[in-house]
Structure 1
Amino acid sequence: MIEQGEMLADIPLFVAAVEAGGFAPAAVRLNLSRSAVGKAVARLEARLGAKLLHRTTRTIALTEDGQVFFEHCRRGLGELQAGRAMLDAGRREVSGRLRVSMPVLFGRQCVAPVLIRLASAHPRLELDLNFSDRLVDLLEDGFDLVLRNGPLQPWPGLMVRRVAHQHMRVCAAPSYLDAMGAPRVLADLERHQAILYGRAGRVLGWRFPGEAKPATETTPPSRLRFDDLGVIRDAAVAGHGLAWLPCWLIRPELLAGRLVTVLEDLPSHVFDTHALWPQTAHLPLRVRLALDALASELPEATSPVSLCGDAPEPGRRAEGAAATEEVRS
């Protein structure tokens, strides 16, 4: 055990020597003698039974074994430093400004309540929330976090974490269904009127996943097209046609009976919500807490209810919170 402790103590000296390009500059950086650094590397080689460095009077170079060992040591030291930083941050009160950008309607209804509760629990935390459906430049615009719905394009220099799933359902007002009847299969949509989402001259089709085949996309007949989901919902409540909308948006209308879901035998289209933030060695505590709060609470806020076709299974919230991931984009 003592030998293992001594070996761990020698590793930072070995890493410093490689990064500095020699024993002498590493010794200056560490405020040690050149021989102390050299002896630490020699002890490591003896304990490992492998040559780590090629040495000349002026330079050092990693051997093949040394390169492998160095990469693992550097990553390990980085993890230790990150762990220490998180512990230090945990002893401090959360403070500072948190700048977050999010889609307008989804942000207002689902994201903002989570972050406002977080701010209420931490009086020194400042919130600066931006509601926009445009693709903001996270780095250039200076945001700590950005929430995005749907597929992501590669975005170098950013980290990504999935924080929720969203389910789409077809719905209509009871008055519309009384007059037109309820569609039973996809082919029935051709005899109905739909309220569609369109932006910049492009109309979004309705997607229905297949169990063992590619998803089916259809664009039902329509004379109403809007670029605002809230307006589409309101038009559906008023009886103007069928609408294809996320469950979180129509939940109050479903519970109140102002809307009814149809085509419930078809699986719902599901897409992800991601949080993105700048890649950094030490994530600020306020950003980490916001990510954890969103990953914990958004799955429940976006999950379908029984009236929306798919009732949440027991433990669904815990599953949603656990099924998050962090990846470099």
Structure 2
Amino acid sequence: MLRSDDLQVFVLTAELGSLSAAARQLELSPAVASAALKRLEVQLGCRLLVRSTRSLRLTDDGEAYLPHARSALQSLIEGQQLLAGGKASISGTLQLSAPSDFGRNVLLPWLDEFQLQHPRLSLRLLLADRNADLFRQPVDVALRYGLPEDSSLVALSVAATNRRVLCASPGYLGVHGSPRSLAELADHNCLRFMLAGRVHERWCFSDGRRQLEQAVSGDRISDDADVVRRWALTGQGVVYKSWLDIAQDVQMGRLVVLLPELLGEPAPLNLICAHRAHLGERVRLLREHLVERCQVLMQLAPFSS
């Protein structure tokens, strides 16, 4: 029979990259923690970690087993909560990855509200525009625009009808004027985003009958979507952003939507996890919380679908 405390030692060691650090956090002696890890490996019949005097890394078996160990521990916690009086009283640590711009400027206050509703919950938030490796990184779920390329991942819709929109600040438009067609974007400074080394410089739209594409250029490129948004706010150029990222800026008059008769690229927002076993009560409640708040912003969108 596997022991939950042995699983705790393994999971925390993998996350911290150190058996001694895991032992300190669990208030165990290094010898007891090492014995727990060895006991687990014997019961599973495989090596989970390769240890030396200077380093520690997961074996292939350890990487494959880690998400299952996390899921098992979470299931035990939720069972205890159910017996204690209801699943709504969630606790523990929820590890979430999110895009930089959406995370900093939209998500943070929503997470503050979520923790006020669930004060026993701790959050570990990782902000990055690159896709989190849900099999290797200590992340339970990731908020991402678009569907995952890996079909083995599980995607839960948060804002299915979200799209990109073209916009610029009133200051920029006062100096350079507003483009009256996609072709006129060639005369404007377009602020571009780069992901995985690829610059997003062909902006796609639809007029309801056909797909349209416009090559753009400009004097600024960043791999941080929040930086691109900040450039737009300070009047540096035209930007093509997810509506959820800039909805509040449009509401406050800091940005103006351009060519609203055109539909921008779909940018559905999803919660993504590696296994259905990770879809516990914490993730379900978080998703409900995010869906409600995204719906408010989507009602203000300049597009109908």
Same fold (TM over 0.5): yes
Q: Secondary structure at the match of 2:246?
A: helix
Stretches of structure 1 that go unaligned for 5 or more consecutive residues are 1-84, 314-329
**Identical aligned pairs, as a percentage?**
31
Instruction: Report Cα offsets for 1:162-183 as digits up to 9, x if no partner.
Output: 1114332212233332333221
Q: In the alignment, which of 270, 275, 288 is matched to residue 266 of structure 2?
A: 270
Q: In the alignment, which of 192, 206, 212 is matched to residue 216 of structure 1?
A: 212
Q: Secondary structure at the match of 1:223?
A: coil
What is the distance in 2 between the residues matched to 1:127 and 1:210? 42
Instruction: Report Cα offsets for 1:195-238 as digits up to 9, x if no partner.
Output: 2223455221211024233x322122322222233332332333
What is the distance in 2 between the residues matched to 1:125 and 1:281? 19
Q: 1:199 to 1:148 in 2, by over 3 A?
A: closer
Q: Does 1:187 align with 2:183?
A: yes
Instruction: Report Cα offsets for 1:243-273 as digits up to 9, x if no partner.
Output: 2122333334333433322212212332111
Q: How does 1:106-121 map to 2 (within 5 A)?
A: 106-121=102-117
What is the distance in 2 between the residues matched to 1:283 and 1:181? 48
The answer on whether the counterparts of 1:101 and 1:145 sit within 8 Å (CA) in structure 2 is yes
Q: How does 1:294-305 map to 2 (within 5 A)?
A: 294-301=290-297, 303=298, 305=300
Q: 1:304 to 1:124 in 2, by over 3 A?
A: same
Q: 1:162 to 1:86 in 2, by over 3 A?
A: farther
The Cα shift of 1:134 comes to: 2.5
The Cα shift of 1:129 comes to: 1.6
TM-score after normalising by structure 1: 0.59
Q: In the alignment, which of 275, 291, 302 is matched to residue 309 of structure 1?
A: 302
The answer on whether the counterparts of 1:96 and 1:286 sit within 8 Å (CA) in structure 2 is no
The answer on whether the counterparts of 1:111 and 1:298 sit within 8 Å (CA) in structure 2 is no
What is the distance in 2 between the residues matched to 1:197 and 1:282? 31
Q: 1:251 to 1:291 in 2, by over 3 A?
A: closer
Higher gyration radius (CA): 1
How many residue pairs end up in the alignment?
Answer: 223
Q: 1:299 to 1:202 in 2, by over 3 A?
A: same
Q: 1:228 to 1:289 in 2, by over 3 A?
A: same
The Cα shift of 1:132 comes to: 2.1
Q: CA RMSD in A?
A: 2.9
What is aligned with 1:163?
158
Q: In the alignment, which of 200, 203, 208 is matched to residue 206 of structure 1?
A: 203
What is the distance in 2 between the residues matched to 1:252 and 1:201? 29
What is the distance in 2 between the residues matched to 1:238 and 1:286? 38
TM-score after normalising by structure 2: 0.63
Q: Does 1:127 align with 2:89?
A: no
Give the residue type in structure 2 aligned to 1:159: V
Give the residue type in structure 1 aligned to 2:92: G
